Each structure stands twice: as C-alpha cells, then as structure tokens.
Structure 1
C-alpha cells in the first residue's frame, strides 16, 4: 500500500517486503482487452505483467510513423522511398523497402514455426503511388509490432544485429573512428575512442576498462548508459560542466543501437532551444545493501561517490538535518568516500532518479506530481489545495502490471498496484518518459529476482543456459479500468495467452539473447498474500 514518505518501516513491514518479493512474478505481455469505447484510437504500445510469464524482458516498441525520400549514394541522383523506423519512441533510422524485405525473409527462414502475426507486405512490380506507399508503411509497422511480442525472436542476436545495421546504414557516417564524450556522475567528462558502429555494450566495455574496473561485467551490470539533457527547460545548455551538471534522463540506451549515432541523431532531430543531449553513466543499483557489498572495489566506490556527491550538491538528498549535512560536508572535504556513502545509506532520500514533473490520477484526476524512481519503489509527490506536499510510495513488489498506452498523441505510463488484500488500482502518469520509466522498473525487478534466487549474476547465467523447462503462459482476463479498483480473488489469474503470440515460447539460450539484460525466471504467483501481509 502507498504510504507517506516519512513513515518509518516497521519490522512487520520489512518482513512484508521480503514476503511479497518472493511471491510476485514479473514479465511481459501485450494487452488489448482494455479499449475504452470513447477512445477508438487507444492502443497499448507495450505492457509488462509482473503476475504473468517467466521472463523479465527489455521493452522494445517499434513504429513506422512516416516515410522520407532519399537519394542513392552510388549516383547521387536516383531517388527512393525510405521508411522511418522509431524504436522506443525515438527515431532509429530510415530504411528502404528492399532491406526491410530481406529482414523479413531472414525472420521467416529462422523463425517460421514460431512467428504468429501479420505477414510482411509483398514486393510489387510497379511503382507505388502515395496511398499505396502509406498502406505499405502501415503494414510494415504492424509486422514489427507483432514481431517484438515474440521474446525468443525479439531478443535474438540476429535481430539486434539487423536493427543496429539499419541505424548505422541510415546515419551515413563520414568517418569510421570517432571520439565519444561520456559524463560521470559528477559531471566529469571522460572521452573514449570508438567506432561509429560500436553498440552500447561495446561502449560500456571500453568505459569499464578506462575507468579501471577489475571485471567489466561488474560495471555493465551495475551501471547504465543514458542520454540526458539539462534540467532547466528555460535555460539553454550548450556545454556540460561539473558546475551545471544536473542531468534529466531522457533515454536508456540498449544494445540494438550505437550510442554515437543515437546521440548525433537526437541532437539533430530533438534539440529544442539549445537543449542538447549528452551521454552519462548512472548507477542501476536499487538497494543500498548491494552498494555496501561492492565497496571493496575502489573503482566502484569512486564512481558511486561521484554521483552521490553531485546529488548532494544539487539538493537531491534534501531535506537534511543540520548535523547530517555537516557530516556529509566533512567527509567530502576529507575525500572520505566510504564514510560519505555510508552516511548516504542512512538517508531516506538517497539513491533516486528524479524524472520530469507530470500529471497523474492519484489521489484524484489531473493531479500535478513529481516523480522519482529508487530504492525499489516509485515516489509521487503531490500537493493539496493549501500547497502542502505529500509523498506516496509505491513498492515495486506490489506492482502487478505496468504498461505504456497511447491515446492520440498522449502517451501514459500505467501500473496496477496492490492497495490492499485482493484490491488492485490503476495509477496513470501522463508523461513523455513512459518508456524510460518502464525500463527503470524492469531494472528494479531484475535486481529483486537476482536477490530472490540468492545467486551471483554469473550463476544466474549458467543456470539459464542449462535450463530446459517450458514456458508457463498466463494472462489476466480482468477488465482494465484505470479509474476504478480491480477486485481480484487470490490465485484467480488464469493461465492462458489471449493473443497466441507466446504459444511456442520456451526458455532460450542466454548466449543468443543480447537485447535483454534480464535473465528468465520462473517465479511464484500471489500464493501467500494475506491480511497479515498487508
């Protein structure tokens, strides 16, 4: 249940968290059952159901909103139509039909028995008129949107390679080798040499080596590469320095894209009023115990310390008691990293990613709110009629379903929360950071699953590679109404797949699934939640 921010967790509450963490299940589905009659253009872009499925998947939503006319590189004269591919809400590349057709043929060759969905549009022997081009565009979009609902296809390394190739070919780079600036947690810039075509994972490996991490995997699993911009919308930001570094995350980069290309494209297409995007490293650690367990690594401590001190300078740790603020400043003066971080671990405000203000329907519709993700929970700050701030916590282990929906141009992030025994309520956030929120919530869930299984990441990988179990399909058939609580009987979730898209899904080989950083898990359903737990 949501509770006020300042409330001190009781022993029973802490036990409750552990109980629920062990009983919630996490994964992804597409849900078309909730379709309000008054919104015929309503569509669920993607949905994630912690009560269903056996995997934690990274969301990948592909759309083809429009086309553009390009000129052949070979002669500089001949024109052709390219289809603009958008992935996770951002422009990815412009691809000609013949290349997309080759991609679809590859899918047919590799996954003909697994793919269930609309066919890719056929070739035509004659030139298409504008109406036919748009019809083809719509069919291509439907094909991709169906394709990515098959996890064993969407996460395959061949798909990742093809998507990366589309982006690189579309970019038309003038040089193969480039310098890439990446900002650490305190605004300090580190510059690396890389290829234009280097994927996110390759960039992370280069960074891990430059930053002196003993093992690259530790860096890759605990930190993420993000695109960000300045937090003040009224002030142009042409350069980033430690003095003005206060990043607002806009995008979590994944391994089907090249960071250099993504950054260059974003600054060409999405720059507004001098607000340029930049790349930065942020930690993906959602429990202080994990930080404490890794403090024997000096490189890890250094990177965490830089982000923590900058959060302190930017006021993200407020409110602070006077004696605590003095202790933190003293540790910073002495450059005592360990003591500073241990003090931070005592603060209820430490270790959050603060996102853009948005509008929510909690506790009532059209409520302005501030949002932050951290400590395995979502915190919403709202104000009453007198301007008094109230903070409500929504623990990740109580979120049964979350999804991203679109009504016209309006995109929302929705999650279904366990408010009380057998009672779920939808919370809706109208925000342009919906996809980012979903990816952050997935990261939180992955951390919980790792801890739940009491294994190291390496052990989890080996377990998955050796797994031969089948996928258990489940789906929630209850009506979706974001304005009303949903009453659910214990263990009433039916095991079925309404769309049939998961029919042939089995646990897959970890070595061939690089789009998702999550490792499939088979978790227990809501079997032990009682009044005492709530």
Structure 2
C-alpha cells in the first residue's frame, strides 16, 4: 500500500554558532509525523543504500551555493517525492532502518522519550483494552498485542488495523485516519490532542465477502459483529425496511453469524463513511456524503439545484492521488485536508477533489 508523505512547511532556523538550516515538516496522510533536517534525511538515505542499493530512489542532491527561494522550493518538492517513492518498496518500509528513523523522528519532534505508559485501545462497542506499553512501541506491535490478548488467531491479525477516530456529542463517529504500521500511536495521540482522538481497532479490507474467512475464530467473529452493530447504529449502512427488521431480530437473539451473513447484503456495509465534505464534482462547491469500500469511492453529491447525484468512482480506474494539508477553515474551527485523485472517466483523465477533515487514502 502506498503511503502519502508530504512536506507542508520548510522553516529556516539559526544554529547556535550562527549558521542557518532548514527544518522540514514531514506529514503522513496530512498529519504531522515529525520535523527533519536535510542532513538527517541524507544520512538516513545512505543507511538505506547500504542495505538496498539501487532499489532506493534517487535522493535530492546537495547544493553548495546559497539557496534561492526557487531552489528551496525545488528541494522541498524533491524531498517530498523521495519520501513517497521510497515507501513503494515493502522491503524498505519493513526494515529496521526505516522504522528506526521514523521512531526517533516522532519521539524527538514531540519530545517523548522511551518509557513505560498505559494506552487504551477501543473496540467498536465502546469498551476498551488497557495496555501496558513502551511509548516507542509501533502500531504493528500494539495491534498484535491487543488482538492476541483478545484471543485472535495470529494468522488473522493482517485483516485488522488501528485507526484514530473521534466520538462526537451528537452520536456521530469520525474515522480520522488509519495508523501506519511503523507509526508510534502513543506519540501520535499526544501530537493530535486538540482533535481529542481515540485509538481503535477496525477490520481492514475492502471486500465484505472476506468476512467468511474470519467466522470460525470466536474473537474475530466478535470484532466483526461489534463493528457491524456500530455501523447500523451510526447509520453508516442503508438497509431496507425488511432488512432492518430482520437485523433487529437477529441482534435480539444474539445470532452473530446470521447477522453478519445478512448485513453483507446491505448497501455500504464494510465501508468507511466520511463526515459530510465539499466536492468539486460535477462542479465546484458541492457538498457530498462519501463512502469508501468494496473497491469504490461512492459519493452522494448535493447539487446547487437541490438535486442529488450518486457517483461511484472505481478504485481500479484511479491513476494517482494526493493529500495536502490546507490549514484551518474560514471559521477557524477545523483543519482541512485536500484529497485529490486522478480518475479515468470514459477515457479522459481528470482530477476529482474532496475537501475533508479525514483521510482514507489507505483505501486507494
């Protein structure tokens, strides 16, 4: 899976000795992961090349003259492209050199040393599991410990992932982003304090039929059932009146297997629903409800003429995508992300843009 790195800011600072250097804000899926100097990234690149040789993409060259603004902009862009390209190779992203670099970068940026801490991981029914962890534990490690503690078979762990999400007072649920395997959830939660995020577990696959592979394990059956109940309560799925009556009957009788069998037939089951956002398709300024899953991005778009238009963008017709942090909205209350993807519509490529507070690009 391609991860979307971006460098949203380049801040020029002074050394104690009077020299100057640039500190780059490295973001993952639109959220700050850490701040790094060019020299740090260059040393990291050298370590990667010792292990992987020419599999590592070209690193932006060093400038020996004073950088002009255009040169500085070019370097920022080149570093951003380098980070995006280096993550295309899973051998690199799974290596100790890759994971160790970003572990240290997160800890140094947010000044959190390795120490013992407690971390709550929430399930879809609102309950939580409290873990005794190290602040430097990666998401991969925390997910494994949590699911093993629940009795999940190790071979099934790959079907689940950690997410940051928000519970709202009105009962709505926002899935903010999927947590990358090398990310440090404890540190990320500290850096996202203003969003009041929680760490939770959700299944992580796009084909609802894969549920059948997890039904024989009691722990995974319970996880799927809890998430399905949550999606019904939060109105993420759209059952017919008849389906809803049958689902309620199966829930009352605690028939989890039959419940999951029926709900796979319900529209938008297993999708991630975004909060209402702004879309530039088919024209600018349209509001839209977005559902991502089952190899599509489904948009229910409200047109200016008080009509709605439902559009399905198929994942296999996407060529590329980008996530950009835009900053606060006009009212100053929320940060906004621009998620854009290049789509083949009847043989013509065009960019579709969503303005949102959430990132689901891990789906793409």
Distance 2:287 2:345 in 1: 22
Residue pair 1:394, 1:417 contacting (<8 A) in 2 also: no
Following TM superposition, by how much is the alpha carbon of 1:388 offset from its aligned partner in structure 2, in angstroms? 4.2
Following TM superposition, by how much is the alpha carbon of 1:309 offset from its aligned partner in structure 2, in angstroms? 0.7
Deviates more, 1:360-369 or 1:247-256: 360-369
Give CA deviations for 1:2-36 in whole Å, capped at 9, x if unaligned: xxxxxxxxxxxxxxxxxxxxxxxxxxxxxxxxxxx
Verify: 1:354 aligned to 2:273, yes or no.
yes
Give the 5 Å matches for 1:92-171. Answer: 92-95=33-36, 99-107=40-48, 109-110=50-51, 113-114=54-55, 115-120=57-62, 139=75, 142-150=78-86, 151-152=88-89, 155=93, 157=95, 158-171=97-110
Residue pair 1:59, 1:439 contacting (<8 A) in 2 also: yes
**Partner SS state of residue 360, structure 2:** helix
Distance 1:194 1:301 in 2: 26
Residue pair 1:117, 1:147 contacting (<8 A) in 2 also: no
Distance 2:302 2:83 in 1: 43
1:440 aligns to what? Answer: 363
1:224 aligns to what? Answer: 161
2:298 aligns to what? Answer: 379
Residue pair 2:276, 2:289 contacting (<8 A) in 1 also: yes
Structure with higher strand content: 2
Following TM superposition, by how much is the alpha carbon of 1:172 offset from its aligned partner in structure 2, in angstroms? 2.6
Q: Structure 1's 135 and 148: CA in aligned 2 closer, same or farther, altered over 3 A?
A: same
Residue pair 1:120, 1:139 contacting (<8 A) in 2 also: no
Following TM superposition, by how much is the alpha carbon of 1:147 offset from its aligned partner in structure 2, in angstroms? 4.8
Distance 1:64 1:379 in 2: 29
Aligned match of 1:424 in 344, 348, 357? 348
When the two chains are superposed, the root-mean-square deviation of aligned CA atoms in Å is 3.5
Residue pair 2:107, 2:113 contacting (<8 A) in 1 also: no
2:224 aligns to what? Answer: 304
The alignment of Structure 1 onto Structure 2 pairs a total of residues equal to: 349
Distance 1:143 1:401 in 2: 22
Structure 1 unaligned runs (5+)? 1-56, 73-77, 236-243, 442-534
Following TM superposition, by how much is the alpha carbon of 1:433 offset from its aligned partner in structure 2, in angstroms? 5.5
Residue pair 1:372, 1:379 contacting (<8 A) in 2 also: yes
Give CA deviations for 1:28-67 in whole Å, capped at 9, x if unaligned: xxxxxxxxxxxxxxxxxxxxxxxxxxxxx42241416133
Give CA deviations for 1:363-411 in whole Å, capped at 9, x if unaligned: 33432211111222211102345634332223333x1413227698773
Following TM superposition, by how much is the alpha carbon of 1:260 offset from its aligned partner in structure 2, in angstroms? 0.6
**Partner SS state of residue 192, structure 2:** helix
Distance 1:386 1:113 in 2: 55
**Partner SS state of residue 250, structure 2:** helix
Distance 1:159 1:287 in 2: 30
Following TM superposition, by how much is the alpha carbon of 1:91 offset from its aligned partner in structure 2, in angstroms? 1.3
Tell me the TM-score normalized by structure 2: 0.82
1:87 aligns to what? Answer: 27
Q: Structure 1's 141 and 159: CA in aligned 2 closer, same or farther, altered over 3 A?
A: farther
Distance 2:109 2:53 in 1: 28
Distance 1:305 1:278 in 2: 20
Verify: 1:256 aligned to 2:174, yes or no.
no
Distance 1:406 1:64 in 2: 8
Following TM superposition, by how much is the alpha carbon of 1:426 offset from its aligned partner in structure 2, in angstroms? 2.4
Larger C-alpha radius of gyration, 1 or 2? Answer: 1
Aligned match of 2:320 in 402, 405, 409? 402
**Partner SS state of residue 85, structure 2:** coil
Deviates more, 1:181-190 or 1:199-208: 181-190
1:208 aligns to what? Answer: 147
**Partner SS state of residue 149, structure 1:** helix
Distance 2:325 2:200 in 1: 32
Following TM superposition, by how much is the alpha carbon of 1:196 offset from its aligned partner in structure 2, in angstroms? 0.6
Q: Structure 1's 93 and 218: CA in aligned 2 closer, same or farther, altered over 3 A?
A: same
Q: Structure 1's 315 and 161: CA in aligned 2 closer, same or farther, altered over 3 A?
A: same
Give CA deviations for 1:296-334 in whole Å, capped at 9, x if unaligned: 11111100100111111122223531x332222222222
Distance 2:303 2:216 in 1: 45
Structure 2 unaligned runs (5+)? 328-336
Distance 1:190 1:99 in 2: 37
Residue pair 1:381, 1:390 contacting (<8 A) in 2 also: yes
**Partner SS state of residue 144, structure 2:** helix
